[in-house]
Amino acid sequence: MVDAGGFAPVPSDLIARAPKVLLHDHLDGGLRPATVIELAADSGYGELPASEPEALASWFADAAYSNSLERYLETFKHTVGVMQTEAALRRVARECAIDLAADGVVYAEVRYAPELHTERGLSLPGIVEAVLAGFAEGEREAARHGQSIRVGVLLTAMRTATHSRAIAELSIAFRDRGVVGFDIAGAEAGYPPTRHLDAFEYLRRENAHFTIHAGEAFGLPSIWEAIQWCGADRLGHGVRIVDDITVEADGSVTLGRLAAYVRDRRIPLEMCPSSNVQTAAARSIAEHPIGLLRRLGFRVTVNTDNRLMSGTSMTHEMELLSQAFHYGLDDLQWFTVNAMKSAFLPFDERLELINEQIKPGYAELRAVLADRLINSPA
């Protein structure tokens, strides 16, 4: 559909086919509604707000649109509640890989907090092993359907707790078995990343990668601490970096010192547009800072955050951005290559995915689109 200015968004079927890279996706935020219901029945979890998949999906979406990060996080009570056995964790991870592959994701880094899954006595290593096994099963099943995906795991520590050093050590113990990095998450206000400085210093001594949720619900101080005190490789969300950018009435732009540092050092921003609107980090997709940050050349990536709570997918996020900012295939490839460059994989493996899957995939889509334009009725 062409708008008043003559722009036609990228067709949905082409976006669905586009190779995608996902860096910010929570395992406990992406369950299938039917799976939540079945796991609740299997485990005796009786607190679900709905018993039918469609109704439960609607409840999660409605509850997530709270304009509050804290209220948004409360929805995870139910998904975490049914992920307390090895079988449940393995199933959720397997289905996650299958669902992402079906969405065109060729590489994903999926994060979860092992400390949240110990309510029924599972050990931390046992939790990690179950999730890794599930992802491996999902990768193999996707391959049988002609869909290629590789999943790397990020182990998350809760910033409101005190287990970050133990989780950091766990990530090192499993880094040669599929764990590619570390993260901290949870409510930002009152829980600065520097509370976990011991974990970050340990990871740096081990030459390990980590990202930090920062600049989502809290502002520039959170971003500054994550980078300058903790040494984050990437910023989870980082949307509030826009507070350090001044846009004048004439359209001229001035970057503050922190914003300039983030851009010039090419620090990746794991942007999650729909989620940011839900938690009031952005007022709307059209007003999301991703448009300005992309124009200014920040290392911006597109992500889902929580596919269940946001009712989203990578295809959906790209469709929203194409419509709101008039992005074409070149822009979507730019976001995708940014993400692949920023992945916690060895350089040669990142380059291989860019040159053998991402660029050829987008070249094919451009050819399809050009053919459609040539052969479409006048």
Residues classed as catalytic: 216
Task: Decide: 226 and 235 in contact? Cβ < 8 Å.
Answer: yes
Distance CA(206)–CA(247), nearest Å, equals 41
How many angstroms separate the first and last alpha carbons of the chain? 14
Gyration radius of the chain over CA positions = 20
Task: Decide: 303 and 234 in contact? Cβ < 8 Å.
Answer: no
Total Cβ atoms within 10 A of residue 43: 16
Task: Decide: 246 and 254 in contact? Cβ < 8 Å.
Answer: yes
What is the secondary structure of 195-210 as a DSSP string?
GGHHHHHHHHHTT--B
- Find the helix packing angle between 197-205 and 164-173, rounded to 10°: 20
Q: What share of the chain is helix, strand, coil (3-state, %, to 5)?
A: 55, 15, 30
Token pair 């995870």 is found at 76
Element containing residue 153 per DSSP (H, E) = strand 150-158
**Ramachandran class of 264: left when φ > 0, alpha when ψ lies in -120 to 50, beta otherwise:** alpha
Element containing residue 327 per DSSP (H, E) = none
Sequence-separated (6 or more) residues with CB below 8 Å from residue 44: none
Token pair 């980090």 is found at 281
Q: Which residue, 27, 18, 25, is CA-closest to 103?
A: 18
* 3-state secondary structure string across 10-42: CCHHHHHHCCEEEEEEEHHHCCCHHHHHHHHHH
Q: What token pair was written down for 17?
A: 């086919």
Q: What token pair was written down for 253?
A: 């732009």
